Amino acid sequence: MIKEKKSVGVDIGSNVVKIIGLRRKKKIRIEFMKLIDLYLSRNVNRPEDLSDTLLVQVIRGLIAEIKGGVKKVKTSVSGPNALVHSMELPNLSDSEILSAIRWKLASIIPFNIDDVEFDFQVLNTNKSSNMQTVLVGIVPANKMKKHLDILTRANLEPEIVEIDSLAIYNCFITLQDLHPNKTVAILNIGAECATLIIMHPDHDPFFKSIAIGGNTLTRAIERMLHISFIDAEREKIEMNYQPSHNTDNTNNYKEIGWKGPLLSMVAKLAEELKKADIYYQILYGEEGLQRIYLTGGSAKLKNLDYLLADAVKVPVTLWNPLKSEKLEYKQEIGNIDELGLHFATSLGLALRDEL
Ligand SMILES: Nc1ncnc2c1ncn2[C@@H]1O[C@H](COP(=O)(O)OP(=O)(O)OP(=O)(O)O)[C@@H](O)[C@H]1O
Ligand SMILES: [Mg+2]
């Protein structure tokens, strides 16, 4: 039976709020998609001014534009305290799994088990060994409560709350075919943090949240050029629209005053990628990374793909999830190249349980 229900994903990012709705037809049909950049839309001038009330207003505004309205949504939380762990557990019923996870978590996490909320997803089951691998998403309870309050105040009903990085992983494995015998990485660079996922079709994925994002660079530009956060943000984004002059891409940055912070951001990301790559090789005895799929709003930074590839010595491809052949659109979308890079999380959420 073809599912006709609308499934909606909402991603309240640090800088950009996204919402996407889909229906399962022959292909996966995108019914609507909307985003608002809190800074470029002039709702906020600097991160300190961002309040829950403002987010509620912004979300309400986005929803008001959607024909037929929205009520139930799938949503995610992110940040350095939102973790994903994979665990080996015996094949148990769902209620037994919950207590087994709770018990295991108590010995892994650095805070009290009563102060966290968690959810799980079965990755694979091995009937012969009677074991299963589950991915467990963990969030501090107060963070979860704050997130749910914002959505409820925006008149939405959250059905599922997931960890950002799990949603990105789900988006990738639903829309891309994993190449046999190849280890690949996804690097989603948002505003406050980057998510790194390393995966191979025969092994469990590895997740890592890195506290580097577009705002790291904006703050560095703010300090260097002695300008406000919002002006630094604009300065950063305008650079993308200046024409390239030559084939050596690093030279494009000669004329900008903040080449240093950009290269230092690339160096830190490259270091994390190399560390995770080696860890994964040791863990599973596979060859190193074959490709890095770069996504997230900060993947739009001019030549970032080139600079990262050069630093890690692994090919880097921009991954725009909205351009997947498994998707179709109710209406044509003009600037899909620009928009798509923001949507891995929200699309991954909307795709959950829909296939
Ligand atoms: N054209 C552009 N060039 C460079 N950076 C850009 C461009 N457009 C957007 N960005 C950056 O993308 C970031 C927002 O991306 P994204 O929507 O993925 O983040 P987010 O989900 O809001 O953040 P997080 O996931 O960290 O909470 C901002 O830092 C913004 O400056
Ligand atoms: Mg994000």
Amino acid at 60: R
Mean pLDDT, the chain, integer: 91
Which carries the bigger pLDDT value, residue 228 or residue 5? Answer: 228
Q: Is the pLDDT of residue 108 over 90?
A: no
> What pLDDT, in 10s, does the model give residues 160-171?
999 999 999 999
Q: Is the pLDDT of residue 42 over 90?
A: yes
H helices within 69-179, ranges in order? 94-108, 141-153, 164-175
Q: What percent of the chain has pLDDT over 70?
A: 94
Q: Report CA-CA distances (Å) from 337 to 12, 37, 41, 136.
A: 21, 16, 20, 32
- Ligand 1, from 10, 11, 14, 216: best to mutate by most atoms within 8 Å of Cβ? 14
Among 305, 297, 307, CA closest to 251: 307
Atom of ligand 1 nearest to the CA of 217: 29
Q: Catalogue the E-assigned strands of 183-284.
A: 184-189, 194-199, 206-210
242 lines ligand 1 (CB under 6 A): no
Tell me the mean pLDDT in the region 87-97: 89
Instruction: State in Å: Cα 108 to ligand 1 middle.
Output: 32
CATH, range 178-318: 3.30.420.40
Residue with tokens 């300190």: 48
Q: What percent of the chain has pLDDT over 90?
A: 74
Among 243, 347, 12, 132, CA closest to 355: 347
Residue with tokens 């909205």: 322
DSSP 38: T
pTM over 0.85: yes
314 lines ligand 1 (CB under 6 A): no
Q: Tell me the sheet residues that pair with 32.
A: 21
Looking at residue 252, its pLDDT comes to 55
Among 12, 7, 44, 2, CA closest to 23: 7
Instruction: State in Å: Cα 298 to ligand 1 middle.
Output: 5
340 lines ligand 1 (CB under 6 A): no
Going by pLDDT thresholds of 50, 70 and 90, the confidence category of residue 101 is: very high
Q: Is the pLDDT of residue 173 over 70?
A: yes
- Ligand 1, from 15, 78, 302, 318: best to mutate by most atoms within 8 Å of Cβ? 15
The residue whose C-alpha atom lies closest to atom 20 belonging to ligand 1 is 13
Instruction: State in Å: Cα 154 to ligand 2 middle.
Output: 19
230 class by beta-carbon count within 10 Å (0-12 exposed, 13-18 middle, 19+ buried):
middle
Looking at residue 79, its pLDDT comes to 73
Ligand nearest to the CA of 294: 1
Tell me the mean pLDDT in the region 113-128: 86
Q: Tell me the sheet residues that pair with 123.
A: none
Tell me the mean pLDDT in the region 310-319: 98
Which carries the bigger pLDDT value, residue 102 or residue 250? Answer: 102
Going 219 to 224 to 230 to 236, the CA torsion angle's sign is: negative
The whole-angstrom separation of Cα 145 and Cα 159 is 14
Q: What are the strands of the beta sheet with 83-90, ordered from one edge?
A: 83-90, 131-140, 116-126
Q: Tell me the sheet residues that pair with 160.
A: 74
201: left (phi over 0), alpha (psi -120 to 50) or beta: alpha
Q: Is the pLDDT of residue 1 over 70?
A: no
Among 218, 231, 226, 228, CA closest to 298: 218
The whole-angstrom separation of Cα 69 and Cα 112 is 39
CB 168 within 8 A of CB 344: yes
303 lines ligand 1 (CB under 6 A): no
The residue whose C-alpha atom lies closest to atom 9 belonging to ligand 1 is 297
Q: Is the pLDDT of residue 253 over 70?
A: no
Going 45 to 50 to 53 to 58, the CA torsion angle's sign is: positive
Tell me the mean pLDDT in the region 138-144: 91
Which carries the bigger pLDDT value, residue 315 or residue 113? Answer: 315
CB 317 within 8 A of CB 291: yes
Task: Tell me the three state secondary structure of residue 354.
Answer: coil
Which carries the bigger pLDDT value, residue 82 or residue 41? Answer: 41
Looking at residue 254, its pLDDT comes to 52
- Ligand 1, from 300, 345, 347: best to mutate by most atoms within 8 Å of Cβ? 300
